Amino acid sequence: MTPRKYIVLLSIAVFGSIGDSFLARGMKDVGAIDVHHLVHLFSALANPWIIFGIFSLLGFMSSYMTALSFADLTYVLPATSIGYVFMALLGHFWLHEHVSPQRWAGIVLVTVGVGLVAGGQHRTEDPPMPVPVTKSMQEQV
């Protein structure tokens, strides 16, 4: 993998975490949205934090699509698990959410476990094509 590909994987984690944090910040301003009053959902789109979140998540989506063009999903998703750590840090320090020690332990376990899964090749190689057995090969056996 080239450094440029690692930057794409890192941008997935960063854009996703920032986008989700912006959306959470904006929804704290907007308040609860009821299924019966979906008009409030559209009015939430006027909130600048939500707009920033949408654009950040568009960056996430373009980075994600780029990564999937050169690596398997089973590699990309685990390789971007550092986003869980970014999200917890943003939630704690920027959104002032309480992240309990149990959540931190869970985040560490998920990140370490996913790191183990992510080891290996970034692209599944196609299995070798079977060699057709010819009549002369059968006579040799």
For the segment 99-140, what is each residue's pLDDT rounded down to a tens digit? 999 999 998 898 888 777 666 666 666 555 566 666 665 566
Measured torsion, CA atoms of residues 98, 22, 19, 44, in degrees rounded to the nearest 10: 130
The tens digit of pLDDT for each residue in 88-99 reads: 999 999 999 999
DSSP alpha helices (H): ranges in the chain?
Answer: 3-30, 39-44, 48-70, 73-79, 82-93, 101-118, 135-140
Flag whether 90 is in a domain: yes
Q: How many domains does the chain have?
A: 1
Six-digit token pair at 71? 């690596």
Flag whether 78 is in a domain: yes
Reported residue count of the chain is 141
Domain containing 19 equals 3-118
- pTM tops 0.95, yes or no: no
Flag whether 140 is in a domain: no
